[in-house]
Amino acid sequence: MLDGTSQSLAGIRLLADLPEDELVRLSKACSWRQFAAQDQIIDRDSESRDVFFIVTGRVRIGNYSLSGREITLDDISAGSHFGELSAIDGHPRSASVVALDGCLLASISPERFATLCAEYPEVALRVMRSLATIVRLSNERIMDLSTLAANNRVHAELLRQAKEHMVGDGRAEISPIPVHSDVASRVSTTRETVARVMGDLAKRDLVRREKDTLVVMNVEALEDMVDEVKGE
């Protein structure tokens, strides 16, 4: 049973700046569900079209190859949303979504989502910006998969994560430490390859483990390695 205080959309970035009374109405129009870690939230190709808001927790968006290999597309956390593609175009889901840890999710129907975007242009603009980001990241991923060797793709993924966890002086602290199998699923390689690349970076004093944190000692040097193979 969910208590009333937990059913708040105040932290959802897509809905930022909505009037308080509209947030209350939207909250009442939502379906609220809790998921445990590893629970399936959405199956690829399902006909559901609801849009989800992550109130607490994290989810993983991904797919599986024909051989059964997991391909991670993105991990998103509280304050984010997902599911808008099917709500917009009416087609089946393009990816699966799994809870990474305990989650509280709110969802609205595609009709309510369309009304929200029509009534609040700032929400529609945020949706467009979110989709534009997805397209850009997808283009980068396609280029990396097409042009970079497996070890270079690991470097590029580590650089991406490092830039999201900068702490100054050219250092980054990524916590928790990236799991090798997760990195491998993101860049379409093997866990063994990721372990080998991480070991090589550690020998070169570019990364170091500190408790539950992976410290990237020189983000600029890592970026130079990636740019060199990309020809930038």
Mean pLDDT by 10 residues, the chain (232 residues): 66 94 94 96 95 97 81 92 96 96 97 96 97 92 90 94 91 93 92 96 94 94 91 69
> pLDDT at position 140, please?
87
Q: How many domains does the chain have?
A: 2
Q: What is the CATH number of the domain that holds 102?
A: 2.60.120.10
**Chosen domain end from 145, 171, 197:** 145
Nearest alpha-carbon partner for 201 in 172, 164, 181: 172
Question: φ, ψ for residue 102 (rounded to 5)?
Answer: -60, 130
Residues 74 and 20 in one domain: yes
> pLDDT at position 4, please?
47
Residues spanned by the domain of 50: 4-145
Residues 141 and 162 in one domain: no
| E strands, 27-130, in order | 31-35, 40-42, 51-56, 58-64, 70-77, 81-82, 96-99, 103-108
Torsion of Cα atoms, 182 then 77 then 7 then 20, to 10°? -160
**Chosen domain end from 107, 126, 145:** 145
> pLDDT at position 211, please?
87
Residues 164 and 138 in one domain: no
> pLDDT at position 5, please?
47
Residues 31 and 117 in one domain: yes
Residues 22 and 126 in one domain: yes
**Chosen domain end from 128, 145, 162:** 145
